[in-house]
Structure 1
Amino acid sequence: MAKSESSATDGEDRQLLAVLEGRPCPYCSEGELERGVYKDKRAAVCDSCDTPHAQLWQPSD
């Protein structure tokens, strides 16, 4: 992947996590989503039950 494509994708990834941040967790009644890491990947994770709602992967080189 070209460097410019990687940068554009990274910005979109951050934007997705920002949109999800602060929303109620769909899996439990107590938590809300926050940006974090799940299995070494950036993710939106519940601050109460630790369930990931979205997880981001980078394509292989």
Structure 2
Amino acid sequence: MLEILQRVEAWAGGPRAALSWYRAYPIPALGNRTAESLVKTGGASAVRDYLDHVALGGYA
């Protein structure tokens, strides 16, 4: 969880915004599930892969 929050903090606009994204933003590429939901069910690697994809210029 902390790794993911740290990775999105800069583009989310700070720690609070990153936490809000983590908890509430549905990620279309991951079945419209939130990062929090995915991490809680063992899908942290899918979130990390998604963030790597976006960081390399891929579409969200």
TM-score (norm: length of structure 2): 0.33
Q: Which has the higher strand share?
A: 1
Could you say which structure has the higher helix fraction? Answer: 2
The higher radius of gyration belongs to 1
The normalised TM-score by structure 1 is 0.32
